[in-house]
Amino acid sequence: MGIRMLVADARGRVMDIPGWGMAGRSGRFFTEPHPEEMIPLPPGASLTLLPGCRPVGVDRQGKIRVYERYYAVAALLPQGYTRTLLPAYQRVEGDKPLPLLGYTAVGWAKGRYWVAASKTDRPRKWNPLLYNTPDLAERVARIRKELPHNRIIRQLGRCSLDYGCLTAQNIFYRRWEGGIPVSPACNARCVGCISLQPAECCPSPQERIGFSPTREEIVEVALPHLQQAEGAIVSFGQGCEGEPSLAAPLIAEAIKEIRTRTSQGTINMNTNAGYTEGIRLIAEAGIDSLRVSLNSAQPDWYQAYYRPPGYTLRDVRASLSLAARQGVFLSLNYLVFPGVSDQRAELEALVELVKSTGVKLIQLRNLNIDPDLYCQLTGVQEPGMGMVAFLKELRRQLPGVSLGNFSRPLR
């Protein structure tokens, strides 16, 4: 197809370079993309300049090398798409990590942009055009007026209008999956945390909640959503909070109260599952589903990213097995990264974890992090098998497990 390299000038104007082909990156390694790794840029995607980074492409002699002018360009994918290659670049200015975004290789051919990605779910409910609508502020104001003392609603209003959070907005649209933040504390120190970062690291795109809600505040938000929303899900564990299982007694009480008043909808929690006792309380209270986040099924890589001071991947496995015995639907929020996730050892570890714990769904999520930083954390030194091959192997070895990107209603 002859996909050309894209670059951007200092003003952010994107252009292709005649005679230079597109390159991508898998872990530390530059590569030319294969046709099966590329799709047309999907609706809702955007382009971004990589500050301080020179583009890497395929020159007229067929060699992969740095283009000494302009800046590198990456695509940011909407939900429902899993990237297959990172953008190819070389950092030449500064050493501050790039912002926490899911950088994806992108090029130009046949009059359109092409991106290194695979469609892995149906993103209809998460189409950006269905969010940030002109009536959103009015919807937020109306529900805030109905619940003037509810701090969760106040927080969700800010997340909706200031941060553009989709699960927060769904509470006000009264549809699909709506978020309910509850925990200001966390038991991990994720390198890519989006709500709290040390000053010397990559800045967080939003602030973490600074309060612990009451059971009544949770029920006030959850109950009407479960009773009235299409495809209703309420989820604890949002980007604006810490680890929800640390608030297990509160969540368990809220679940019990909600289920005395309605059997409708799905109650879900997004969690790192490192606090097994908290998972036990919440599972016994009757939660429907857990989505457990991990970047790797291998202890060293898991530890390098989550940096938990008080638990290990073994505790996560124990939590998964315990919840499965309670009849909880289990999914993984698997943070994928080309060149790391598609290592043969990682594939084998992930398949074993899924089979041994009862996971039913793997939700593939592009890991938002500086690629150089993550390669340094994991220490990966060998090329992976490729993300397309990795996904094919997952489907082959786990025929009873679904692959996708989103939580699903169970009731």
For the segment 330-366, what is each residue's pLDDT rounded down to a tens digit? 999 999 999 999 999 999 999 999 999 999 999 999 9
Nearest 5°: the CA angle 229, 233, 235 is 135
C-alpha–C-alpha distance, residues 152 and 172, integer Å: 12
Indicate the pairing of strand 103-104 with strand 71-76.
antiparallel
Nearest 5°: the CA angle 206, 150, 159 is 20
Give the pLDDT score at 199.
Answer: 43
Give the contacts of 7 (CB within 8 A, at least 6 positions apart).
14, 15, 16, 17, 55, 67, 69, 70, 71, 72, 73
Beta-carbon count within 10 A of 345 CB: 12
Give the pLDDT score at 206.
Answer: 60
C-alpha–C-alpha distance, residues 176 and 180, integer Å: 13
The tokens 């509160």 sit on which residue? Answer: 250
Indicate the pairing of strand 106-109 with strand 112-119.
antiparallel
**Alpha carbon distance, N-terminus to C-terminus of the chain:** 46
C-alpha–C-alpha distance, residues 206 and 193, integer Å: 10
Give the pLDDT score at 204.
Answer: 54
Please name every residue paired with 117 in a beta bridge, in sequence order, or none if there are none: 83
Show the domains of the chain with their CATH numbers: 4-119 (no CATH), 124-404 (3.20.20.70)
User: Within the chain, which residues score under 70 in pLDDT?
Assistant: 1, 194-206
Of residues 357, 371, 377, the one with CA closest to residue 316: 357
Residue 326 CA, distance from chain mean position: 26
The tokens 């993300």 sit on which residue? Answer: 387
Q: E-assigned strands of 137-282? A: 175-180, 230-236, 266-271
Q: Which amino acid is at 222?
A: A
Q: Which two tokens stand for residue 175?
A: 């549809």
Give the pLDDT score at 205.
Answer: 59
Give helix then strand counts, H and E, for the chain: 11, 22
Q: Which two tokens stand for residue 285?
A: 């209270």
C-alpha–C-alpha distance, residues 397 and 123, integer Å: 25
Give the pLDDT score at 356.
Answer: 97
